[in-house]
Amino acid sequence: MINLQNISYIHLSKDLLFRDINLTVNKHDKIALIGNNGIGKSTLLKILARELQPSSGQLSVDTEPYYVPQIFGQFNHLTIAQALRIENKLNALEEILNGNTSEENFNLLNDDWTIENRYSEALNYWQLNDLDLTQKIETLSGGQNTKVFLAGIFIHQPELVLLDEPSNHLDISGRQLLYNFIQSTKSTLIVVTHDRKLLNLLDTVCELNKHGIKVYGGNYDFYTEQRQIENNALNQDIQSKKKELRKAKEVEQETLERQQKKNARGKHKQKKSGLARILMNTYRNKAENSTAKSKSVHSKKIDDITLELQKLRSSLPDIDKMKFDFDNSSLHKGKILFSATNINFSYDTQPLWKENLNFQITSGERIALKGDNGSGKTTLIKLILGGLEPQTGTIYRAENKSVYIDQDYSLLDNKLKVYEQAQQVNISALQEHEIKIRLSRFLFTRDFWDKSCTDLSGGERMRLMLCCLIISKQSPDIIIFDEPTNNLDIQNVEILTAAINEYQGTIIVVSHDETFLEEINIKRTIELGQ
């Protein structure tokens, strides 16, 4: 069905994105395409969708792909019917049913007499019954946009479907519909996603990197097991190479000490035998040359081993290179931080929640805040943080330090460079080299220090946010994360997970990523309904 041979792609800026991509996709395959942010997963999907041309290589796709992009802004000016490419058929069908049996209408319909039923069933499945096909795409929410284009799969019934982060904007019920579709469809799938529940529904994982693509014949759990085996072997190689380096340095030291003793004994004998000065100088030069040659041989061996060790270390996953060092919250566990008694909030006189809310939040808890889109999660966060007051009921807030982190990590100042952002939160007067050490621990090497925060990827913004929390040395009592994994690749989700698990304060998380919630040890859920 799909055959990629030596596919490469070079940006207009002449930067190589990836090269030598070789992949065969057979009918009914369900493939996960994973890789770090910026490696080119979306670009490869666009090449498969024929929206981009590869810089080199050969591409063969023997069917018309149906492509659901990650971003829908390019469709804003279209109606739903136009974006789904069904407007002309529906209009033609209506004209025919009204008696206009022109050849043009029959050509437009192309014998697709069930088009109306299919789009009705598709909208019903994706819970879009309240939408009008004449609505503009720009009037829809992110979740509705995604569902509209997913509905197009039911309408067009393609053999090949390309999905780019399809679960990003879906709430829990929407994600479940997506999972059901993935399991039941007979279409061939290639899916870019960091949703690990979705990844486990796919049969094959393909990991994209700059130099090619590696195929793992199993779902995401199988992939992680294989990667763990590879990482264990890599760590063993690193330990072995460190021993080899240590031994080489010891041998060098021993050899030089023996040579120095030998030279000293020779010099002593020469003086005792009364050799002429010119002859003594000749012997001394020979001894020095011999020492220099021996040192050069050992230095080259040490340099070679050091280079090999650096290459091995560079292959380590980023999470293994990082160090988290959160200060603990000063509040004792179990202290009541927030209490709500019969609270509600109204927009246009309509209460947000059918039933008033009653709950407490205590220090050290890990809480998931759940509810469908529009259920009032953002409003409740504002009530917890003090940005809003309830219109019904009472609340109690204990004095505490809290931080709200949204999915864009907008606490960062886009006008600042990376080092300037770190310096801005340096209230404990760390020296410049200490700040740079901490930035390096979060993978911000020298090349990043003068980079603008606005140019950072989602994962880089997340890591800089964590680094700033650590540099500030004022660990908050409460951290509220609002869809923190939406713009992160799998590797950066793992980094965020590790950081949260090291933090000892109170965590409140809004997330539809069930795997993420399990891994950060969420113990309680506040469920919002309307």
Compute the C-alpha angle 19/23/24, nearest 5°. 160
Q: Name residues whose C-beta falls within 8 Å of residue 4's C-beta, 6 or more positions apart in sequence.
A: 21, 22, 23, 24, 57, 58, 59, 60
Give the DSSP letter string of 252-308: HHHHHHHHHHHHHHHHHHHHHHT--HHHHHHHHHHHHHHHHHHHHHHHHHHHHHHHH
Phi/psi of residue 515, each to 5°?
Answer: -65, -45
* pLDDT band, residue 314 (cuts 50/70/90): low
Q: Name residues whose C-beta falls within 8 Å of residue 24's C-beta, 6 or more positions apart in sequence.
A: 2, 3, 4
Predicted local confidence at residue 510, as pLDDT: 92
Spatial distance between the Cα atoms of 24 and 43, rounded to a whole number of angstroms = 18
Which of 91-105, 106-120, 224-238, 396-410 bottoms out in mean pLDDT, i.e. has the lowest?
A: 224-238
Return the amino acid letter for 16.
Answer: L
Look up residue 502 and give its two tokens. 């090291």
Spatial distance between the Cα atoms of 274 and 29, rounded to a whole number of angstroms = 88
* pLDDT band, residue 324 (cuts 50/70/90): low
Chain Cα centroid distance, residue 204:
19
Q: 175 near 167, Cβ under 8 Å?
A: yes
Mean pLDDT confidence for 247-269: 69
Spatial distance between the Cα atoms of 50 and 38, rounded to a whole number of angstroms = 20
Spatial distance between the Cα atoms of 394 and 340, rounded to a whole number of angstroms = 6
The b-or-e profile of 275-296 (16+ CB within 10 A means b, else e) is eeeeebeeeeeebeeebeeeee
pLDDT in tens, 332-386: 788 899 999 999 998 877 888 888 999 999 998 999 998 887 788 889 999 999 9
Mean pLDDT confidence for 388-417: 89
Torsion of CA 332, 334, 337, 343, to 10 degrees: 180
Spatial distance between the Cα atoms of 61 and 53, rounded to a whole number of angstroms = 13
Spatial distance between the Cα atoms of 350 and 340, rounded to a whole number of angstroms = 20
Which tops the pLDDT comparison, 98 or 239?
A: 98
Look up residue 25 and give its two tokens. 């996709």
Q: 466 near 442, Cβ under 8 Å?
A: yes
pLDDT in tens, 37-55: 778 898 999 999 999 999 9
Spatial distance between the Cα atoms of 36 and 73, rounded to a whole number of angstroms = 24
Spatial distance between the Cα atoms of 223 and 166, rounded to a whole number of angstroms = 21
* pLDDT band, residue 172 (cuts 50/70/90): confident
Predicted local confidence at residue 236, as pLDDT: 81
Q: 41 near 35, Cβ under 8 Å?
A: yes
Write the burial class of residue 421 (CB in 10 Å: 0-12 exposed, 13-18 middle, 19+ buried).
buried
Spatial distance between the Cα atoms of 292 and 41, rounded to a whole number of angstroms = 52
pLDDT in tens, 514-529: 889 999 999 899 988 7
Q: Name residues whose C-beta falls within 8 Å of residue 317's C-beta, 6 or more positions apart in sequence.
A: 227, 231, 491, 494
* pLDDT band, residue 319 (cuts 50/70/90): low
Q: Is 209 helix (H, G, I), strand (E, B) or coil?
A: strand
Predicted local confidence at residue 277, as pLDDT: 55
Chain Cα centroid distance, residue 407:
12
Q: How far is CA 412 from CA 64, 89, 136, 325, 370, in A?
A: 43, 48, 33, 20, 26
Query: What's the pTM value of the predicted model, to 2 decimals?
Result: 0.70
Spatial distance between the Cα atoms of 441 and 67, rounded to a whole number of angstroms = 39
pLDDT in tens, 264-285: 666 555 555 555 555 555 655 5
Spatial distance between the Cα atoms of 492 and 318, rounded to a whole number of angstroms = 9
Phi/psi of residue 326, each to 5°?
Answer: -75, 135
pLDDT > 90? residue 130: no
Look up residue 209 and give its two tokens. 């990197």
Q: 516 near 500, Cβ under 8 Å?
A: no
pLDDT > 90? residue 483: no
Predicted local confidence at residue 282, as pLDDT: 60
DSSP state for residue 339 in the 8-state scheme: E
